[in-house]
Amino acid sequence: MNSSLEETSTNMIRSLEEINEEHFNALIPVVVILVVIMVIGIAGNSLVLYIFKRKYKPSNHRCFILYLATIDLLFDVFGIPFMIASTRHIYVFYNVAACKIHRFINYSFASCSGITVMTIAIERYIKVCKPNGSQISTNTARGLCFLSGFVGVVLAFPSVVLYGQSTVETKRQNITGIACFTQDKYKNTPFPFIYRTILAICFIVIMVTICICYILILRRVKTHKAALEMSFRSIIRSGDLYSSKTQHNALNQVVLTKDDDSDKNEIRLKSTVKTRKTMMFVVAITFIISYIPYFVITVAFQSDKHFMKTWNMTKTDVLKIFRTLYLLNSFANPIIYGFMDKKFRNECKVLMHRFIHRG
């Protein structure tokens, strides 16, 4: 009798391992994507930290970029390996501590990143739309970065309690696996729903705030340009002579720089500020685009626990690939800086030149 039970148990374990292996093989494209993101993210964010720390003067812009790069680098180093491990052991994830760390890292770094991007949007809004009001100092910017880290940790802490070993159904009847998900003892309680609802509300607030800030910024810039254009037309009608080139340069200088006696430096600074604002706008858009698929799929899954069970493996795996799109945010920023920040791009070229000639 005992030998029969042992044999049945052994067969079930083998079957579970086979299911896990089959599922992992189907998810190899996801793992490849994760590895590529990790490698590019570590290299790119390390470059950002080195160059911005050594070559850029202290400013809000530098502070926020260094903080974002630190978050992304830590996630690339610690978060993605845990994601690969959870993908490899999707139905046989028995390490409770690793599961809790994995979930905590995911939620904390995602929250920190989102709050920081929102803070940048608010800071840009104040500079452009409230130039005569109280501005955020560099020390305040540092404090806001630390605050975002604290809030991120607070938002992620419940995941340490809620997540762990979770019994999940597999494609084969009467065979269940152990996944890193909501612990069985919390599945029939309101706590997981409450926690995910809080996270969803935070996500929506962040997205809406970012969108509103940049819409107001764009409207302000457009209004300012229109006012300048009308002013120049009025001056021309009154008989003052301005070349078309002078008009064009003046219209492009929307952002005013204070306390600078040199016209040449002023123009350069205006161009730099304008580029930085555009760059951080692109960073915000990238953040939103990368997180929307993950948010939509997660909400759909929480609304209907069975919506993926009727899908075949191919559709499910494609869906899981889309869920990893939010990870693009962890390596996209260095690429954005490379395309839009001439100084950063030149410093990268210098480092590459030194590396090649040293080799």
Measured from the Cβ of residue 7, the count of other Cβ atoms closer than 10 Å reads 10
- Helix H or strand E segment including 163: strand 163-169
Spell out where 89-129 has E strands. none
Instruction: Give the Cα separation of 38 and 80 in Å (integer).
Output: 7
Instruction: Give the Cα separation of 338 and 48 in Å (integer).
Output: 10
Under the banding of pLDDT at 50, 70 and 90, the label for residue 146 is: very high
Residue 70 near residue 46, CB atoms below 8 Å? no
Burial of 15 by CB count in 10 Å (0-12 exposed, 13-18 middle, 19+ buried)?
middle
Q: What is the pLDDT of residues 253-310, one digit of tens each?
A: 444 444 455 555 555 555 566 677 788 788 888 888 888 877 777 666 666 655 555 5
Residues 229-244: what's their mean pLDDT? 52
Residues 118-140: what's their mean pLDDT? 91
Dihedral of alpha carbons 192, 287, 138, 122, sign:
negative
Task: Locate 278 and state its tokens.
Answer: 């555009």
- The answer, yes or no, to whether residue 246 has pLDDT greater than 90, is no
Q: Please tell me the predicted confidence (pLDDT) of residue 115.
A: 94
Burial of 3 by CB count in 10 Å (0-12 exposed, 13-18 middle, 19+ buried)?
exposed
Q: Please tell me the predicted confidence (pLDDT) of residue 268.
A: 54
Instruction: Give the Cα separation of 169 and 284 in Å (integer).
Output: 38
Task: Locate 225 and state its tokens.
Answer: 């340009």
Give Cβ neighbours of residue 275 (< 8 Å, ≥ 6 apart): 340, 341, 342
Smallest Cα–Cα separation from 13: which of 137, 175, 151?
Answer: 175
- The answer, yes or no, to whether residue 11 has pLDDT greater than 70, is no
DSSP assignment, residue 176?
E
Instruction: Give the Cα separation of 252 and 239 in Å (integer).
Output: 23
Residues 115-139: what's their mean pLDDT? 91
Q: What is the pLDDT of residues 212-223, one digit of tens each?
A: 999 998 888 888
Taking the domain 2-358, which CATH number applies? 1.20.1070.10
Task: Locate 287 and state its tokens.
Answer: 């953040």
Q: Which phi and psi angles does 166 have, rounded to 5°?
A: -130, 130
Taking the mean position of all CA atoms in its chain, how far away is CA 302? 22
Q: Please tell me the predicted confidence (pLDDT) of residue 279.
A: 81
Residue 167 near residue 89, CB atoms below 8 Å? no
The more confidently predicted of residues 271 and 203 is 203
For residue 101, which amino acid is it? I
- The answer, yes or no, to whether residue 168 has pLDDT greater than 90, is no
Q: Is the pTM of this model over 0.85?
A: no
- The answer, yes or no, to whether residue 139 has pLDDT greater than 90, is yes
